[in-house]
Structure 1
């Protein structure tokens, strides 16, 4: 090793962010292992690389003792003081024992260590980059599909879309560009593993934030998301500016904003609900597209009884209860849906129960 080698390490420091000292310490440790393996595993040794010249030397280390028992590990006080009178018992005497052909081994070992450290550094950089992006969207290209796992290329690394995080009925093709939500980033010995999802409610939230400037600016706030991936979703939005319609902002001119998201989610239906501090109005809106006649609220139990016209009952409940289920997820309320005729059977004077609970 020489000064050119040190210059190369300094260039690496600038390019990869790995300090020269860290690389040299790693090389010294690797060289020590190589020396013990090839020349003298029974003695204490130390490898030192000169930080100015790059010269590499091996030193045997022996403890100064009164009476020497093992000459490979110890040196008598008299012998040590013959070298330097300042030595005392307990000091360590270093004697150079660099083998004649150690330079070749040093060069090979240094190359291996540097390559390994560069690889580790690049993995750490990738890990740090994506660990900070958990909860964000990635845009990548389908690289391959193995055992139903979809591997998405992200430049220097790849993300894994497992079967449980894939949308029902969605197919993927090599070379296809898709968006996904970063669920978790794990550090492993083979580098970072990035797990992504196409079903997570966060994907819908981030897609709207990307498409709707009012959400990015904070004028419109996305209060809640309920999603059954691949089928239907509901989002509740609120405007901090009374002059801005939050639903209209999310729908966009001629429905372009929401349609872009629907296309990305392969036709998933999206209901955009206006959030309201009035629980009865919020619950009523959450059952959109069904029309609601009245809502009765039990605040403590977070239970709401919703009355709908007879012809709207199936729409309010939805196919296999999907609309009601999503409304409950969106609002956090347990919702009991009754038709007007059902209420009339149970309570002949049911309309008197509501007073001001009627929803226009």
Structure 2
């Protein structure tokens, strides 16, 4: 079944990955339209031997379009996604615009693919750190029954798109030349630095990013009362987020069963042999579709607890790959 596809926000880092993944995964598109703001209209995007001409995203762009992959921010999505859905186009949205809307499924295909059936024209893609964390948490939940978790993220600058990646590169270059390069994208210099500040702060002292992991994890895993707490940290890593997780479970845990659960899970790669310095790192998992899970150990502070480390490419499983996987599920259900 061939479908017509559009990408909204095609000029961004995630948009570029969407184009690549649609081709490399042999997504059955009959046509591919790349859309962005009016200031980018008419510019070209190249993928191998193909050239795509960017068109301005308007409500009419979605006439006779089957699936639209949005990666353009919440403001644009809130305006254009309902217009696309009104025209019969299924929207897979990477922004936070509709994630917690009770009428919009929030989907990680390895965990809750059945939720795709319930869409009313819009399907939400989770936040990057949530999707990556769940590649470790979900299989362990299936094995032992998750009770609560604590997470600390180490988030790459790719989470801020091209601007964040460019700022890190510019500051490293300036430092090597003995020059000053004041921050523009971030509140502090990111080169050779880190800060516990990802997204805006709320009155309770948590950031929006930290609230996302709690609320989205609850929705995806159908655990509305799941207790969790998170600290999100921006680190001078170009690509791939890392997350240290301490989780408590309902049932007794064992390292052997935990490793078996991770190894059998389709979204994860077991990377856990500390005797040989084997554990997941951002450099290792940049550009990989699967997320690495390692440093698995019995948690010394929790009953039936496990501590572990998850690493995943923010632009892939944290964004573009998950969106394409959702679109693949949409096509499968329509076939």
What is the TM-score of this pair, normalised by structure 1? 0.25
Point out the structure with max Rg over C-alpha: 1
Greater RCO, CA 8 A, separation 6+? 2
What is the TM-score of this pair, normalised by structure 2? 0.27
